[in-house]
Amino acid sequence: MRSFLVGCGFYILSVLVLLLFRGPLHMLAADVFHLDDASWWKIVLAFLIGAKLILVFLLLTPALALHWCGKTKENR
pLDDT tops 70 at residue 73? no
E strand map for the chain: none
CA dihedral (8, 13, 16, 22) positive or negative: negative
What's the pLDDT tens digit per position in 8-67? 788 888 888 778 777 787 788 788 888 888 888 888 888 888 888 887 778 777 777 777
Q: What pLDDT band is residue 5 in, cutting at 50, 70 and 90?
A: confident
DSSP 56: I
Which positions ≥6 away from 11 have C-beta within 8 Å? 48, 51, 52, 55
